[in-house]
Amino acid sequence: MLPHLLKRIANRVPIGIGLTGGIGTNGSGDIFIAFSTANPDAFQRYDFSEVDMLPNDLIDPLLEAIVQSVEEAIINAMIAAETMEGINGNKSYALPHGLLVEVLKKYNRLKD
């Protein structure tokens, strides 16, 4: 991918965050980067080089995949999180899995 496509990829990350309820507040400190490992021999100081690139018209499935994978990663992290105690006794509690399953079943959101 060329830089303009990588920028489009990185710009889809906040959409996945938004789908989970994140709003990107002032102190969030979100930074998203995208890079390509393709064309490792593309840099030539004194000669021409050839570069393979993905056409713009084929990027839609990747853009969708980025949004879905970010959303899935956040949900997985929330489910896997354990109760933690931090400085000054501050606690972050894990989601109660039993109650979560109950609520998902109640609203027909749990797939078997």
Task: Name the strand (E) or helix (H) holding 79.
Answer: helix 60-80
Residue 16: Cβ within 10 Å count: 18
Tens digits of residue pLDDT in 5-44: 999 999 999 999 999 999 888 888 889 999 998 888 888 8
Torsion angles phi and psi, residue 84, rounded to 5: -130, 150
13: closest CA among 26, 24, 1?
Answer: 24
Domain boundaries, the chain: 3-82
Q: What is the pTM of this model?
A: 0.78
Task: Indicate the average pLDDT of the chain.
Answer: 92
pLDDT the model gives residue 9: 95
Per-residue DSSP letter, 91: E
pLDDT the model gives residue 19: 95
Residue 9: Cβ within 10 Å count: 19
